Amino acid sequence: MTLHPAPPDTGIVFRRAGSAAEILANWANTIESPLSTVLSNGEGNTVGTVEHLMAALAGAAIDNAIIELDGREVPIMDGSSAPFLFLIECAGVVEQDAARRAIKILKKVSVTEDGATAVLFPDHGFSMSFEIHFDNPLIRRQDICLMFDADTFKTELSRARTFGLLDELDRLRAAGLARGGSLDNAVVVGRDHVLNVGGLRYADEFVRHKLLDAFGDLYLAGGPLLGSFRGVRSGHAHTRRLLATLFADREAWCFTTLSRPTHRSEPAWQDGLQLASD
């Protein structure tokens, strides 16, 4: 994967190497997928597992970039957003001479399905909260609330890895899922211990990663949000449907501009930033 700079108002665009096919990173281009967020151009071209990269771009306040891939999926790296954010910071960013557009939430919108809920509320800034419930004794109920500023994503969310339960791994692989999963790119949870050497990066890493996923998915709105998000046992599909519900109601949102930071196009390196994983 290579990240290229892009002019203002380009947005985040995925491009398959060796092809003219492009897919704008927008909620309207998402398709149903059980474990990740997948984008499609409606012509058979798809890009999967975009949520961790989208979270890194949102956390770095990057509005415009061309993301070139030689495969159908964003590299999983270590299962978090930290490698993407680190390399973006190493490359540097360019501030662009254009106002940064945001989406302001004007009234409450919500979706509830299969015992899960995702909600957006009006707010002056941007905050997120999330609650999870698992039968596994190492997870159980976890709840987190974060107010976002310039450093919140890097310090509080970026290193939280995707996770899976050991007793579900065989079932997922039999269904053709999680075949590339390993202790190098996910937290694997047994009944009484975490299998990864070094354990957890945060005491509540599980709920933080669910919040990270939602943060990346919300950036598919087409820009940063001004409002508050609450997720309870929700996943990618709920966040996608929440955005669809929001934009279906023209009285629920409006565009506004942010005084800072300005538009940013990543990276500053003219030849782009290259990322790869096995």
**236 part of a folded domain:** yes
Rounded CA-CA distance 79/56 in Å is: 12
Residue 247 belongs to domain spanning: 2-272
Asked if residue 34 is part of any domain, the answer here is yes
Contact yes or no for 227/120 (Cβ under 8 A):
yes
236 tagged catalytic: yes
Give the pLDDT score at 176.
58
Give residue 216's pLDDT: 98
Residue 239 domain-assigned (yes or no): yes
Domain-embedded: residue 278: no
Number of domains in the chain: 1
How many Cβ atoms are within 10 Å of 190's Cβ, its own excluded? 12
For residues 73 and 48, is the Cβ–Cβ distance under 8 A? Answer: yes
The list of the chain residues with pLDDT below 70 reads 169-181, 260-278
CATH of the domain at 206: 3.30.1700.10
**Residue 277 located in a structural domain:** no
- On whether residue 111 sits in a domain, the answer given is yes
Q: Indicate whether 49 belongs to any domain.
A: yes
**Which one of 4, 52, 209, 236 is the catalytic residue?**
236
pLDDT of residue 271: 42
Helix, strand, coil in percent for the chain, rounding step 5: 25, 30, 45
Please give the pLDDT value at position 211.
98
pLDDT of residue 76: 95
Integer Cα distance of 250 and 253 in angstroms: 6
Angle at 214 between CA 138 and CA 241, to 5 degrees: 120
Residue 28 covered by a domain: yes
